[in-house]
Amino acid sequence: GSEMCIRDRLQEHPDIIVFNKPTTGVILWRLHSNNQTKELFSLLPDGSASFIDYKDHFWIRNVAANPLADVEVLWENIERALKTLKR
């Protein structure tokens, strides 16, 4: 299903750390530094993800089970944000 796709893509990306295996259809992921994670989040479209502070790390939170979240669009937004960060 689409839930696997987004998590698999996040896990395969060298710059992204995915928090364990989500059990509730919620995916938590981050970059290597809090500053980068915060900046990346600010580049994502409003409503596509939420931002939490957990165990001294900033995490970007996506609800994989969200039928409104088109995986392709979400992934394009994430990749675009990552490219912007690397400039």
pTM: 0.82
* pLDDT (tens digit per residue) in 14-25: 999 999 776 677
What the block records as the tokens of 3 is: 């839930």
- Alpha carbons within 13 angstroms on the beta-carbon side of residue 58 total 15
Give every CB contact of residue 44 below 8 A, 6+ residues apart in sequence: 60, 77, 78, 81
* pLDDT (tens digit per residue) in 18-71: 997 766 778 899 999 999 999 999 999 988 899 999 989 999 998 876 666 578
